[in-house]
Structure 1
Amino acid sequence: MFDNISWGKKRRLSQIVKGDGRALMLAIDHGYFMGPTTGMEVPSKAIEKLLPYTDSLMLSPGVLTSSIDPDFGKGCVLRASGGNTILDKDIDDEGLILTAEEAVRLNASAVAVSIFVGAEHSHQTILNLSTMISDAARFDLPVLGVTAVGKALKDKKEKRYLAHASRIAAELGADIVKTYYCDGFEEVVTKTPVPIVVAGGPKLDTYEDVLTLCYRSIQEGAIGVDMGRNIWQSEYPSAIIQGVQKIIHENFSVKQALEYTNDLCNEETKRVELFKVTARDIEDSKLH
């Protein structure tokens, strides 16, 4: 899968993509533009029971240093682009917020940069990715290219757009592309010459929907998923992440994984709400 690269880069990638060629990433980087997102108000508490079942975390540098124990034993993909929030008209006016050298000092497995292809600041975000790829090459640091979709582009989660954006990220030199699942997803994978992980996106209605997304993504060519709100905003976070893990690493069917998940739904796996969730919180969580 990752041929003709240095041992150092392979070593870092092995912290994200396991020996079976699959990856289960837990995305907890939403706060860099959404603030204290519902379910992730206290990151260390939110992920406490989830870490055993994930391969790597996708997170911001500040949450890594403030909320994650140095010996947590998982890969970490650091958010390297940012600069706007959900309070702004759109979030595509991003710059780089982290250098490759800083990421290496934090012992990152990889860095992630978003590109907003077709948005107002498309050119700028594509150059952000290109700049980071050049910078990261000096340290054999893998780069994850994220095909982000801002408010103005939320109708673009379809095959033609996602294949276009994913191919651009790969052409620039991204080692892995993170994109959305869509109808005809196999074509997106075929047209992207680097491995793809699928974004979980906004919270889905049922566990079956979450597991179906994971199953279809793997069956149609993705190497894994990067799940966030569909895990830590769920009623039973550690139950659903274990169901996802079974699909990613043990080839469970949706039916098998759903039965496994439902069997785990109990007080031990139930999410503890630290703060009262308001209707506005729920609406904000659906913005992206």
Structure 2
Amino acid sequence: MAPNDSFARRVRLDRLYRNGSGGLLVVPLDHPISGAPIIHSGRSGGLDRLVGELAEGGADAVVLHKGALRHVAAHRFRDLSLILHLSAGTGLSADPDAKVLVASVEEALHLGADAVSVHVNAGSRTDPRQLADLAAVAGDCDRWGVPLLAMVYARGPGIADGRAPRLVAHAAAVAAELGADLVKTAMPRDAHDLEALTAASPIPVLAAGGDALDSTAALQHLAAAVRAGAGGVAAGRLVFNAPEPAAMVRRLAALVHHHTPARIPARTR
């Protein structure tokens, strides 16, 4: 017999939103498969130390692949939620925008995850398969009462600007229409477009942190997104590429937890 979906999902969403601010700070650490290392050379402690710093700095959740959990102490998740990432693709592929499922909702539950995430590149050559994967995972999440974060971007051979307001709105709609509880996406540049996006989305929109080439500009853009109604921030490279990741996550936590209007997924109400 399947678990009570509404109760199980509500409990897990409450864990994600344990800080009570109504905003989420998620730090994705799923980048090594795509080819982006997340640990500075010469930095002691590795992934376990980094996750510990994120927890102490005020992050609400981290996104990890299943194998990475072998290198993180279980006690790191006493005050930090685990989102297991279910999809992957390498930068070595002939189609770097392709994503396939590499784990399941059942595996996530076995590993103690509070939620799962799936990546979709809308407009990519494998767009139909990625949509089908997202829909299938959403069905499993409904069955087991697990929150779903969809990372949806407008990316592909015909996409010139993945931050174009129409395309970002479409990406957010894909996540909501297929059953996600939260969506992470690149945000439009203009404040008016940011407000229109967050107002139109029926689920919280987490602003993606970006490539961190200019951390000052990235922080300013994320602050604008939060002021415009974003449900929080999902920043990976901005954090782990920072000279001091702990200091960066504290800045982001202050931004998200002290300035985000209380808006949580409807399923928790």
Whether these two folds match at TM > 0.5 is yes
TM range (shorter): 0.7 to 0.9
Q: 1:34 corresponds to which residue?
A: 35
Alpha-carbon RMSD: 2.1
**C-alpha displacement of 1:151:** 6.4
Residue 176 of structure 1, aligned match among 158, 174, 182: 182
| Structure 1 residues 73-120: Cα deviation after superposition (integer angstroms, max 9, x where no partner) | 2101111112x3111233232221111111111111111111111111
Structure 1 164/151 Cα, relative in aligned 2: closer, same or farther at 3 Å? closer
- Would you say the 8 A contact 2:21–2:258 is kept in 1? no
Q: Secondary structure at the match of 1:49?
A: helix
Ranges in structure 2 where 5+ consecutive residues have no aligned partner: 261-269
* 1:248 and 2:252 correspond: no
| 2:26–2:61 contact (8 Å) kept in structure 1 | yes
What letter matches 2:204 in structure 1?
A: P
1:35 is displaced (CA, Å) by: 5.3
Distance (whole Å) between structure 1 residues aligned to residue 36 and residue 217 of structure 2:
26
1:96 matched to 2:101? The reply is yes
- Gaps in structure 1 of 5+ consecutive residues: 253-288
- CA distance in structure 1 between the aligned counterparts of 2:96 and 2:155, rounded to whole angstroms: 6
Using structure 1 for the length normalisation, give the TM-score.
0.79
C-alpha distance in 1 between matches for 2:119 and 2:236 = 16
Instruction: State the alpha-carbon separation in 2 of the partners of residues 174 and 90 from structure 1.
Output: 25
Q: Which residue of 1 aligns with 2:195?
A: 186
User: In structure 1, what is the equivalent of residue 75 of structure 2?
Assistant: 71
The correspondence of residues 1-288 of structure 1 with structure 2, limited to 5 A, is: 6-17=6-17, 18-34=19-35, 36-37=37-38, 39=40, 42-52=46-56, 53-64=58-69, 66-72=70-76, 73=78, 74-82=80-88, 84-150=89-155, 152=157, 153=159, 155-182=161-188, 183=190, 184-206=193-215, 208-251=216-259
* TM-score with structure 2 setting the length: 0.84
C-alpha displacement of 1:37: 4.3
- Matched residues, percent identical? 28
CA separation of 1:154 and 1:102: change in aligned 2, threshold 3 A: farther
CA contact (8 A) 2:124 2:156 kept: no
Residue-by-residue CA offset, 1:6-43 (whole Å, 9 max, x unaligned): 12111111222242211111111111221534638832
Name 1:259's counterpart in structure 2. Answer: none
Farther off after superposition, 239-248 or 29-38: 29-38
Relative to structure 2, which stretch is displaced further, 20-29 or 209-218? 209-218
Q: Tell me how many residue pairs correspond in the alignment.
A: 245
SS of alignment partner, residue 249 of structure 2: helix
Kept after mapping to 1: 8 A contact 2:153/2:168: no
SS class of match (1:24)? strand
Once residues 11 and 156 of structure 1 are traced to their aligned partners in structure 2, the CA distance between those partners, rounded to angstroms, is: 34
CA contact (8 A) 2:155 2:162 kept: no
